[in-house]
Amino acid sequence: MRTTIRRLAPAAFAGVLAAGFAAPTAASAQENTIPLTEGQVTWGIHTGFTDYVEGPIAGGEITVSQGAQRDGKNFTFPSLTGSYDLSDHHIEASTEGAVRFTGHHGALDLTIASPSVVTDNSDKSGVLSVTITQDSSTETVAFADLSYTGGSASGFEGMTASLTAEGAEAMGGFYNAGDELPAPDITFDTAQEDGGGDEDSGGGSDEESEDPGDTGGGENEDGDDSGDERTDETASPNANRADPVLNAVSGSASWGVKESFRSYATGPIADGSYTAVDGASEEGGVFSFPVANGTFNTDTGAVDLAFTGGAHFTGHGGELDVTLGDVRLQGTGKSLALYLNGTAAATVDLGQGLSVADERVSVSDVPVTLTESGAKLFSGNGTSFYKAGDALDPLSFTVDFDGTVTAADFDKTGNLPTTGMDLTWILGIALALTAAGVVAVVATRRRPANA
């Protein structure tokens, strides 16, 4: 997940988010903080919880207010304001907007509002807090721990989010501290007030200024015209890139999930169907998921690709109703994890199926192996249809990046991400979460109005 800074302030803020966050320049040191304005936080809160609320068990709904907006599984909280500290490179920001979750005929009524973010660059960590209202009681909760691996002039790299113990309690004890959450996408503008002039004042540092690496291309001190020494003969494919992180610009992934599961959903027992939803498409049992965003680090081989859409399976007169979405690939080199609904559901071995040409990376029919957490996605009545180690359908994808990729860039090794949230929202979940049980757990969060 890349957290984006839409436009950096002139001179003083340029490069301040470089990897390692170098010390401020003399110009940036003139003031201690830079105001953050006109931003927003886009965040999925908790994918499993949103699925549960709108599923057949809770039978509830999700509504937004106070300026918040919803797009699929993501919620946007507007009116971000805050500050960036030039001395220690910490960020503090708050937003507006509220998301209300209701279900179980009113027994569940929870509102999450006004996410705020504080980062600490000394250990590249942060905390996302929210205001939670339930049963007329409102409190501010440190909901998620954040971490990131580095930064550049366009934002944070490798941001992740995990549920805190306080957040788990606020969710009624359904989830555990440390469970993976969707990473927030934070965008904002900066306003540097150092007298440097506005973008049209000729101050020499607006968004359309010349490439700082271009010295003018004129003659050098010896009178020749070799002022620009970057030639096609000497430069490596990414020699002109200060940042080794490439951005995904287009592409898609093709995957059938699991043939036996598709056959079961449409067979005479379940008597159901499967369809592509939320921007995905399906043909002949193979789902196509367009690239939403992503990055590839040519130095480390780190891959992070998010795809749009989901695969929706129904059957048994509505008892089977599950959407596998939030498709994401993360990992290093040729060893990736396939995430579904926020869970590291499978491992992917690019192995011999990888091909690279210029800016394009293609993977054809590589093996996908179910994890223990992934097996729980295909379970009901306390029994999993499949087990860890079972083969899912092979995966293919093609992604174009905004810079050149080489096969050697994938010759890196690293640890696969750990398994994520425990999501068992398929057949027979009603037996595991009876209405009485849910009400009892929700009741533990009830407190007096003046608490």
CA-based Rg of the chain, rounded to a whole angstrom? 24
Mean local confidence (pLDDT), 426-444: 36
> Which residue did the predictor score with more confidence, 171 or 239?
171
How far apart CA 125 and CA 90 sit, in angstroms, is 10
The kind and range of the H/E element at 275 are strand 273-277
How far apart CA 128 and CA 143 sit, in angstroms, is 6
Beta bridge partners of 125: 120, 147
Instruction: Evaluate whether 151 touches 21 at the Cβ level (below 8 Å).
Output: yes
Ranges 165-174, 327-336, 406-415, most confident: 327-336
The kind and range of the H/E element at 373 are helix 372-377
Stretch among 116-125, 211-220, 313-322, 434-443 having the lowest mean pLDDT: 434-443
pTM of the model: 0.43
Mean local confidence (pLDDT), 26-36: 60
How far apart CA 117 and CA 130 sit, in angstroms, is 9
For 290, other C-beta atoms within 10 Å of its C-beta total 14
Nearest CA among 18, 79, 49, 39 for reference residue 144: 49
Model confidence at 342: pLDDT above 80: yes
In 73-215, DSSP assigns E strands to 74-85, 91-94, 98-103, 108-120, 125-134, 137-147, 150-152, 155-157, 160-163, 180-181, 185-190
How far apart CA 53 and CA 172 sit, in angstroms, is 13
Extract the tokens encoding 304: 């992070």
Q: How many residues does the chain have?
A: 451
CA 412 from chain center: how many Å?
Answer: 23
Stretch among 105-114, 126-135, 239-248, 429-438 having the lowest mean pLDDT: 429-438
Q: Residue 177 in 3-state DSSP?
A: coil
Nearest CA among 97, 294, 95, 303 for reference residue 186: 95
Average pLDDT, the chain: 75
Model confidence at 323: pLDDT above 80: yes
Model confidence at 151: pLDDT above 70: no
Q: Check residue 409 and give its pLDDT.
A: 87
How far apart CA 421 and CA 442 sit, in angstroms, is 20
Q: Check residue 291 and give its pLDDT.
A: 94
Mean local confidence (pLDDT), 126-153: 86
Band (pLDDT 50/70/90 cuts) for residue 39 is confident
How far apart CA 60 and CA 100 sit, in angstroms, is 10
> Which residue did the predictor score with more confidence, 28 or 394?
394
For 87, other C-beta atoms within 10 Å of its C-beta total 11
Terminal C-alpha separation, the chain: 37
pLDDT tens for each residue of 48-97 = 888 888 888 788 999 999 999 999 999 999 998 888 777 777 888 899 99
The kind and range of the H/E element at 322 are strand 320-324
Nearest CA among 109, 116, 126, 121 for reference residue 43: 116
How far apart CA 229 and CA 227 sit, in angstroms, is 6
